[in-house]
Structure 1
Amino acid sequence: MNKGRLEAFTDAILAIIMTIMVLELHTPNGYTWPAIQKEIVPLLAYVISFVGLTNLWATHHFMFEAMHTVSYGVFIVNMALLLWVSLVPVSTAWVATYPTRFLPQVTYIAVIFGWAVFLFLLGHEAHKADPRYPTNIMAGREMSVMMVIMVLGAICSFFLPDVALTTGVIVIGMYLVIPHQNFVRHRRRQLK
């Protein structure tokens, strides 16, 4: 399997997913502040998901940059990741429409949780295919903390409205820092 082709295919799918998400946004039904306020939650959900997908793309790029070979296992996990991530527009629209309902919130968190699991599995498969692949890009301890936050967010969303989007902000914020820092450390070690 050609690493570049798989990465390009992933880039294309992520671009399509992001485009589909923006099509779910609607212009305000008027030109007053109350009309705009009705669209704030969908816009916020879109921004959170967009930032998350942007970070997913960057993390995926970091991971593939560190890979030397792509095995069939890497291909399968990557395709499962894309299948799971293709649920982002649906879960984003659903939580934006029903921000205080349990099932849309849990679904939204489950989608973020799933893509974290698939990124972890992708790193695992990459290391199996090539022992030179660094095992700490999707670091275990930090990943565990993110998973716990998502599980707690899912539980709390049953009792507290709007927890799913807050959980999304926290976890995606962590995603913005952790894989990038680990990748930078790995690159520095390679250059020494």
Structure 2
Amino acid sequence: MNNERLTAFEDAILAIIMTILVLDLSKPNPVSWTGLWALHASFFAYALSFFWIGLMWMSHHNSWQAVRTINMTTVLLTLVLLFFASLFPYTTSLVANSFDNATAQALYGIIIIAISLLNVGLSLNLGRLNPRAKFGLLYKTPTWVVLLDLGIKLIGLILAITIYPQAMIYSIFIAGLVLSISMTTNRQVKLN
């Protein structure tokens, strides 16, 4: 298998997951501005999940252009990553419908942390196979940003489980901002 086939597969799965996310959005009752506002937590969970997956896709798209060699470990890590990513619509729906629930928030966070760790594993694997790409813990993202990202998410998970359930989703939002800023300040995005 070549890397183009694997990236095409990943692109297709992520596009389907992003599309399915919107199907779980609740409809306002009544259809009014007040009814829409009552669903603001659902819209926030949807938007966060959509853009988080989009950020992951963008990172992969830009980094995988330097990949020339993959192996079975690459394929297996990608499959496991996509498995956890496929749970996004489910966990997003749980959080959207039970925003104050520690279990829903923790499960959402665990899925995101698992995907983050799988991305690190994938980057390290690809870095070994493609030394000229000079990948670090998360492709070209500075190590300190990756560690900060994981630290923010872990703190959010601990707070969500212990004292403040919404800390998980807010920590993912903050970590996403950190990664977004890092991606835009450290390199230009190639859109080809």
TM-score using structure 2 length = 0.89
Q: 1:153 is aligned with what amino acid?
A: G
1:19-55 CA distance string (max 9 Å, x none): 1111001221113333222211111100011010110
Q: 1:89 is aligned with what amino acid?
A: P
Q: Is the 2:156–2:169 Cα contact (8 Å) retained in structure 1?
A: no
Q: 1:170 is aligned with what amino acid?
A: I
| Percent of pairs with identical residues | 27
Counterparts in 2 of 1:1-192, with a 5 A limit? 1-136=1-136, 137-157=140-160, 158-179=162-183, 181-184=185-188
Unaligned stretches of 5+ in structure 2?
none
Q: Is the 2:66–2:133 Cα contact (8 Å) retained in structure 1?
A: yes
Which has the larger displacement, 127-136 or 37-46?
127-136
Q: 1:168 is aligned with what amino acid?
A: I
Q: 1:165 is aligned with what amino acid?
A: I
Query: 2-side partners of 1:62 and 1:119: how far apart?
Result: 14
Unaligned stretches of 5+ in structure 1?
188-192
Query: 1-side partners of 2:141 and 2:77: how far apart?
Result: 15
Query: 2-side partners of 1:42 and 1:95: how far apart?
Result: 8
Which has the larger displacement, 155-164 or 145-154?
155-164
* Deviation for aligned residue 1:160: 1.7
Higher relative contact order (CA 8 A, sep 6+): 1
Q: Is the 1:139–1:179 Cα contact (8 Å) retained in structure 2?
A: no
After superposition, the CA RMSD in angstroms is 1.9
Point out 4+ residue stretches in structure 1 off by more than 4 angstroms: 179-185
Query: 1-side partners of 2:171 and 2:111: how far apart?
Result: 12
